[in-house]
Structure formats: C-alpha cells, structure tokens
C-alpha cells in the first residue's frame, strides 16, 4: 500500500512540475509553439537518435567548441529533459518584442558545461536562480528549468519617445544609444524573472481558447491568439519606421487591427504515426469576414470536370474552386478594408477606387467567362530532343557558331478552366485561326505562338463549359470524341469536399522521372524518396461555421519502422 501511495505521489508531483512549466507562460502571450518530447521518444529512442551520423557530427561540433573536459556523446548529455514538453512563446509590447524558449533541465551542470568558459564566469546567481545576460538576450535557470529570452526593441517607440526618455535625470549623461540599450535590458530582465518566478499576470492556462485547442497526441502544436493582430503588429513596426524616415509616408497613422485579414485565432497540430505525417490547421474567421469568405470559397466545382480525370494518369494535380462573380462583387469592400487599414491616410481614395471598379466591371459576365474552377493535372514526364546554339573558337580565335542537340525533361500536363461562355471562346479561337495563332486540326486546335519557344506542343478546345489545354494530342482527341476514360477513385471526395487540393503521387512521379541527366548522388535521393514516401496532399476546406480547416499529409511506407524514422533516415541520406 505504501508503495502504491508513493507511486501516486511521485506521479502527481511529476505531473505538477510539467504543468507548472506551462503555467508560467503569461496569458498575454500572442503565440505559442509546444513540442511533446515524449511522443518523439516513442517513435525514435534516444539511443537510435544518437546513432545517426548527423547527430554524431552535431556532438563533435559541440565538443570542438567546448573548452571544458566535458564531452557530449548523446542528447542526454545536453542536460535537457528530452522526455518532456518544451515551449516557445512570443509577446510584443509597444516597446519590445520577446521571443522565449522554456524547457526542463535534468542536469544543470551538463547544460552549463555547454557554455564557453568566459560566459560561465559571468553567470550571476540570484535567489536560487542563475542568470546570464548578453546583448539582446537573457537566460535564467535553476536545477529544473531553463528560460531563454531573446528581445528586440521597437524602433517606432524609441523614436517617438526620445525627448521624454532623455529628459529623465538618470539619462542626462548618456547617449541615446546607451539609454535604449540599458532600458531594454532592464525591461527584458524584469520580464524574464517575472515569468521564471511566476510573478505578475495570470497564466495562459486560464485562456479557454488555448485550453480547448490543446492536443496531447500531437508531436508539436502551434497556437496564435490573433493572426491578424500578430501580423499587423509586425507590419506596423516596419511601416511606421519607414514613414518616419520619409521613405513611405503614406503608411503614417497605420494601426494594427485584428480584422485586417479576416482571421483571429490559429491552431496547428503536427502528428507523426507509423505510416503518415500530418499537419492540421484551423483558422477562426472574424465575424465580419465570414459572409465574404463563404460567398467566395463555398462554391462547388462543375461535375463535368470529373469526367476528364483519371487517377492512373495523374502524377500530381491541383484543384481549385472559387466563385469569381462573388469575388469581384466583394472586391471593392475587401480592397477598402485591407488597403484602407494599411494606408489610413488614403482610405477615402480607396473607397472611391472601389466604387469605380464596381461601375466598370460586369461581375456576372466575367464570372461566366471564368467561373473559378481550375484543375491542373501533371500526367507524365518525357524527354525531348531540342536544338541550341553554342560557340567555339578556332586556332585564330575566331568565334564559330554551332548548332547542337540535347535531351530536356518536359512535362506532359492538362489544364481545365471553367467557363460558361463557350460560344465567345470559340469566336476567339476562330479569330486566332484567322491570324495564324491557332491551327484547326479537326475538332480541336493546336496553338502556334511564334514568340513563345515552348519545348512542348499545346492543344486547346472548349467543351462542356470547360476550356482545355493539354500537351497530348491523343488526350485532346479522346476528350473531343468522348473516348476519355475517367477514374476518380479516392480523389472524388478530396476534390468535392475541399475548395483547394494539391496532390502528389510521390512514388509514381519518381518512377517516371528521367534519370539520364542526374548524378549518382541525386539518384540516391530520388530512389530513397520513391521507396519510402508514397504520396502527399494539401487540402483546404470550405468555411464551416466560423472555421477554415486545412491539412497537409505525407503517407510513408512502413519499411523504416515509422514516419519519423523515415524522415530522419532521409536526412541521413542527404548528409552522406
């Protein structure tokens, strides 16, 4: 019974320590990245990682720079707790931007031995903490925890407050450069020590949005409080500085707003399993933008596109669907909202420009000419003999022009663009035939653009509200004569349920790549990729509620044990 109680006590204690690290992150933090070390160790043990050549090279480099008798031969020798969570978090104030890294320590002495002797000698001990400050950074640690804070001053703040800061008595005898350096280092030290001690504001764990989006199954996670505010904070710092210098005065008055780009919180999670690596992203749409984004991106692709897709003839493809008419109708408001926010001095001009745009553009007509449905398919690769001009010199150093030939890798592809103006497009093509830009080959057209020296032939036709371009005459003939064999397979759901898809069949693509021009090292890379990475895709969903979801997934073979080992072994191949 005592052993059980002791085990429970130890477990609770360990859990509290792990949670206490995260609880030290202030609630005002704008962005957090967390890495779950325990999930990584489950996939690749420390002993396995230490055995990689690139890891040994890293250890050797650390030992080369180390001026103590201590040597590193394992990641355990770094003194960090590899089996726990590590955090990066960012905060921007009106005067300083802070970049923080926090991780548990298992051996303080091992960590300190990584520091050069001169830096070890300048470590200050204060209240059970060890502090090492340098220009633009401060590190604080004890026996169990390390906090590293890098910081940079906001130029606009110090430019706007120079007179006030220099008027302080303690700054009278100093240059403004030294005043800025002293003040930022003092503020950064106070900020770092407050975090380390747990002083000051509430913890990020009090934030409902942050807690609700935590996923302990993820290898790594990203949380951003407000994407628009984070981005605009960076933009305002740069733009205000440029405006004050006189280079870009139209940015003067720019203030960051959280709804400038329509997105609020952003959550991303990385998962690594036996046969896949997956990154999911969820972006919260601002209430003012929900209707706009839904109108533009919640369109459905014309089902006629499905009749001209064959998964057996697709090494890669990109599918995109949006409502062009809705985009043009919303564009004036979008332009005013975005550019009016960036250049507030010219907001009225933006409003007027948007009004003129609406008067001049027939949104419905353009929306019928180009519906917004696009499907690009990479069908194959081939080699084509091409001629090129070279020069050589004779014994009298006179230049002689030579015509040579070489093989070039050329793609075989098909592009489909949605259009409801088939009659109008056919008139354009017939006019192109009249002027020799197109050649009528019986039901379809061969493009003949004299100023474009393309390595492939290109054929075009308009059919079933789709404008086709393809490099294959056989394929365009099959489309025109209804001989094309469709086979959507698993891709129907991908294309139908998402407004954006980018797919690569890695194994097939690598199998079809001509290797004649590649050296042995490049072939080794390609062969490893072909044998261990099956396929990959990026998909972006339509707006659901107030969220936009996206996903990147790489499917791997099981020959390496799991996807992390497959990735690390690929790095090993690259390092050879």
What digits encode the pLDDT tens for the residues 425-479? 878 777 877 777 888 887 898 888 665 566 778 899 999 989 999 999 999 999 9
Give the domain ranges of the chain: 21-38+78-218, 299-322+371-379+410-504
Does pLDDT of 124 surpass 60? yes
Least confident of 157-171, 333-347, 537-551: 333-347
- Evaluate whether 154 touches 237 at the Cβ level (below 8 Å): yes
Q: Which residues pair with 381 in a beta bridge?
A: 411
The pLDDT assigned to 327 comes to 75
- Evaluate whether 158 touches 187 at the Cβ level (below 8 Å): no
Q: Label residue 179 by pLDDT band (50, 70, 90).
A: very high
Least confident of 109-113, 244-248, 464-468: 244-248
Residue spans of beta strands (DSSP E) within 261-372: 263-272, 276-285, 316-321
Checking 350-356 for CB contacts under 8 A at 24+ apart, the result is none
Least confident of 182-191, 283-292, 353-362, 544-553: 353-362
Residue 516 CB partners (closer than 8 Å, separation 6+): 383, 407
d(C-alpha 517, C-alpha 535), whole Å: 24
Residue spans of beta strands (DSSP E) within 273-333: 276-285, 316-321
Neighbours of 23 (CB within 10 A): 14
- Evaluate whether 148 touches 86 at the Cβ level (below 8 Å): no
Secondary structure, 3-state, 199-221: CCCCEHHHCHHHHHCCCCCCCEE
Phi-psi region of 151 (alpha: psi -120 to 50; beta: other; left: phi over 0): beta
The pLDDT assigned to 243 comes to 45
The pLDDT assigned to 363 comes to 66
Dihedral sign, CA of 477, 479, 485, 488?
Answer: positive
Does pLDDT of 3 surpass 60? no
The pLDDT assigned to 399 comes to 80
Does pLDDT of 360 surpass 70? no
Does pLDDT of 259 surpass 80? no
Instruction: Tell me the average pLDDT across 8-13.
Output: 37
Nearest alpha carbon to residue 231 among 250, 199, 254, 249:
254
Does pLDDT of 1 surpass 50? no
Instruction: Tell me the average pLDDT across 220-227.
Output: 94
The pLDDT assigned to 31 comes to 96
Q: Label residue 81 by pLDDT band (50, 70, 90).
A: very high
The pLDDT assigned to 254 comes to 45
Alpha helices in 145-224 (DSSP H): 155-160, 162-166, 176-197, 208-212
Q: Label residue 2 by pLDDT band (50, 70, 90).
A: very low
- Evaluate whether 433 touches 427 at the Cβ level (below 8 Å): no
Least confident of 10-14, 157-161, 281-285: 10-14
Residue 173 CB partners (closer than 8 Å, separation 6+): none
The pLDDT assigned to 543 comes to 82
Instruction: Tell me the average pLDDT across 142-165.
Output: 93
d(C-alpha 75, C-alpha 70), whole Å: 14
CA angle 424/426/429 to nearest 5° reads 115
Instruction: Tell me the average pLDDT across 7-12.
Output: 36
The pLDDT assigned to 230 comes to 79
Does pLDDT of 357 surpass 80? no
d(C-alpha 31, C-alpha 266), whole Å: 9
Does pLDDT of 282 surpass 90? yes
Mean pLDDT of the residues in the chain: 83
Least confident of 10-24, 77-91, 473-487: 10-24
Residue with tokens 């199954």: 217
- Predicted model pTM: 0.84
């Amino acid at each position: 019974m005592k052993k059980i109680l002791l085990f429970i006590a130890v477990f609770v204690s360990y859990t509290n320590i792990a949670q206490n690290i995260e609880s030290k992150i202030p609630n005002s933090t704008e962005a957090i990245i967390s890495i779950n070390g325990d999930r990584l160790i489950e996939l690749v043990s420390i002993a396995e990682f230490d055995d990689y050549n690139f890891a040994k090279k890293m250890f050797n480099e650390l030992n080369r720079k180390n001026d103590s008798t201590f040597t590193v031969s394992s990641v355990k020798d770094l003194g960090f707790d590899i089996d726990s969570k590590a955090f990066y978090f960012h905060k921007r104030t009106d005067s300083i931007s802070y970049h923080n890294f926090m991780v548990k320590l298992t051996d303080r002495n091992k960590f300190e031995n990584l520091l050069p002797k001169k830096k070890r000698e300048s470590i200050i001990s204060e209240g059970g903490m060890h502090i090492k400050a340098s220009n633009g950074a401060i590190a604080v640690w004890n026996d169990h925890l390390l906090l590293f804070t890098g910081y940079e001053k906001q130029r606009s703040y110090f430019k706007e407050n120079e007179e006030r800061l220099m008027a302080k008595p303690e700054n009278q005898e100093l240059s403004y450069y030294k005043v800025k350096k002293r003040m930022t280092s003092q503020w950064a030290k106070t900020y770092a020590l407050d975090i380390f001690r747990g002083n000051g504001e509430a913890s990020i764990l009090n934030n409902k949005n942050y807690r609700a989006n935590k996923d302990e199954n993820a290898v790594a996670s990203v949380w951003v409080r407000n994407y628009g505010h984070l981005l605009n904070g960076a933009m305002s710092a740069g733009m205000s500085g440029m405006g004050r210098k006189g280079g870009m005065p139209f940015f003067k008055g720019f203030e960051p707003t959280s709804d400038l780009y329509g997105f609020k919180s952003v959550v991303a999670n990385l998962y690594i399993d036996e046969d896949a690596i997956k990154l999911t992203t969820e972006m919260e749409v601002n209430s003012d933008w929900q209707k706009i984004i839904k109108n533009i991106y919640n369109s459905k692709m014309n089902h006629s596109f499905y009749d001209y897709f064959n998964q057996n003839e697709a090494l890669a493809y990109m599918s995109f669907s949006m409502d062009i008419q809705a985009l043009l109708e919303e564009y004036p408001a979008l332009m005013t909202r975005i550019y009016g926010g960036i250049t507030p001095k010219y907001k009225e001009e933006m409003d007027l420009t948007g009004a003129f745009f609406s008067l001049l553009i027939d949104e419905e007509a353009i929306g019928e000419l180009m519906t917004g449905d696009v499907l690009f398919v990479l069908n194959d690769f081939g080699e084509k003999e091409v001629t090129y001009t070279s020069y050589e010199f004779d014994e009298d150093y006179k230049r002689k022009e030579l015509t040579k030939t070489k093989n070039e890798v050329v793609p075989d592809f098909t592009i489909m663009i949605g259009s409801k103006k088939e009659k109008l497009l056919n008139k354009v093509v017939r006019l192109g035939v009249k002027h020799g830009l197109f050649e009528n080959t019986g039901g379809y057209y061969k493009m003949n653009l004299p100023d474009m020296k393309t390595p492939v032939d290109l054929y075009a036709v308009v059919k079933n509200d789709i404008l086709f371009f393809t490099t294959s005459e056989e394929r365009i003939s099959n489309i025109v004569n209804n001989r094309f064999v469709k086979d959507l397979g698993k891709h129907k759901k991908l294309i139908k349920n998402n407004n954006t898809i980018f797919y690569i069949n890695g194994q097939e693509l690598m199998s079809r790549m001509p290797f004649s021009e590649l050296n042995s090292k490049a072939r080794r890379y390609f062969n490893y990729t072909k044998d261990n990475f099956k396929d990959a895709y990026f998909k972006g969903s339509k707006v659901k509620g107030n969220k936009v979801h996206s996903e990147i997934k790489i499917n791997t073979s099981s020959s390496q044990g799991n996807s992390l080992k497959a990735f690390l072994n690929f790095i090993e191949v690259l390092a050879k």
